[in-house]
Amino acid sequence: MLSLSLSTEALGALLKANSTPAGRVIQSLCGPEERGPNPLFFVGKKAVAHLPALLAVPNAVLIVEESLMGDAEKAQTPTSTAALFEVPNARRALSQVLEHVENKDLVTPKIAEPGIHPSARVHPSSVVEPSARLDAGVVVGPLCYVGHDVWLGEGTTLLAGAKISRNTRVGKNSLLRENCVVGGNGFGIETDDEGNNVRIPHLAGVSIGNEVEIGALTTVCSGTLKETVIEDFAKIDDHVHVAHNDHVERNAIVTAGTTICGSVRIKEKAWLGVNSCIKQGLTVGEGSVVGMAACVTKDVPPQTTIAGNPGRELGEFARIQKWLVAQVMPKN
C-alpha cells in the first residue's frame, strides 16, 4: 500500500476520464487484498473476483477496465460509496498513475524523524540523502548510497558499494554486502498508446527484518503497490535476484544464483538451492528444499524436496530418471 494525497479531479484529468461521485481525495493506493484510508484500486481481469468486496470499501475509488464496467455497475449496491473510473486498460492506467505519483513526488514519507545517529559511521565517499534515517551503530562503508525515505536499523552494516533506494526499511543487525542493490524498480512493463514498451514504476519499497543477510551483487526489487518483504533471520547469498512483491519468510535460505520471479512467497525455513528458479506467483512451502538448478513451475507443498527442470518431487524425479536411463542403456 502506498500513502499519498491525490484528488479525483487530478486523477480524472490524468486518465481523461470522469467519475461519479467526484470531489474525493485519495489517500492510499492498494492492491485488491489491501485496505487503506480513502483507497484507490485498479480492477482488470485478474482482479474481477474482488469487485463486490472493493465496492463495499468506504470512500473507495475504482479504476475499472471498460470490459468489466457492466459487472461493476451490477455489483454496486445502493449503500456503496465507491467512485468509478472507466478506462480501456487498467494496467496501463496503473502505469500512468504511478508515473504521475513518482514525477510529482506525491508519496507520503514514512520517516517522521530523519537523521544520522551520532554513533553511526558513514564513509566520506558514500551518499546519505537528507530524508534517510540511520540508527545507533549503523556502519555505511565506502561508495554506498542510502536513498530517500530509507531507514537503517540499529547495528546494520552496508559493505562497499551497497545501494539502498527509496522507501526501504532495514531492521536491526542486518548485513547488506558488497554492491547489492535494494529497492530499485522491478521489471514491470506495459505498452503506451502507440504500442511502445514503457516501464511501470515500483514505489512501495522493501521491508527487511532483523538479522538478515543480503549477499554481494544481489538485487531485491521494490514492490509495486505493496512492499517486497524479507523477514527476520532470512539469509540470501550472492548473485540472487528477488523480484517485486516477493515475500521471503523468517529463516529461509536462498543460495547463490537463484532467481525468484515476481509475487512469490518463500515460506519459513525453506531452502532454495544454487541456480534454482521460482516462477512468478508461486509458493514454496515451509521447510521445503529446492535442489540445485531446479526450475519450479507450480506450488511446492511444505516439507517437500524438488529437483529437475521442470521441478518435480524428488521421488518422482528419481523414477523418471531411472526410466530414461532404461530407454537409452542397452539391455544385457
Q: Which residues are catalytic?
A: 244
- 10 Å CB burial of residue 17 (0-12, 13-18, 19+) is middle
Beta strand ranges found along 19-103 (DSSP E):
19-20, 25-29, 39-43, 61-65, 83-87
Q: Are 280 and 298 in contact (CB under 8 A)?
A: no
77-103 burial, b at 16+ Cβ within 10 Å, e below that, comes to eeebebbbbbbebbbbbbbbbbbbbee
- Cα angle, residue 307 at apex, residues 305 and 308 outer, rounded to 5°: 165
What is the crossing angle of helices 90-103 and 8-15, to 10°? Answer: 120
CB neighbours of residue 197 within 10 Å: 8
Strand-pairing partners, residue 170, are 152, 208
DSSP 179-237: T-EES-----EEE-TTS-EEEPP--SBEEE-TT-EE-TT-EEPPBSSS-EEE-TT-EE-
* Distance (Å) of CA 208 to CA 159, 178, 205, 231: 16, 17, 10, 6
β-strands 213-214, 175-176: how paired?
Answer: parallel
Q: H or E stretch including 10?
A: helix 8-15
DSSP state of 330: P
Mention every residue, 6+ apart, whose C-beta is less than 8 A from residue 78.
none
Whose cell is 520471479? That residue is: 261
Q: Are 19 and 8 in contact (CB under 8 A)?
A: yes
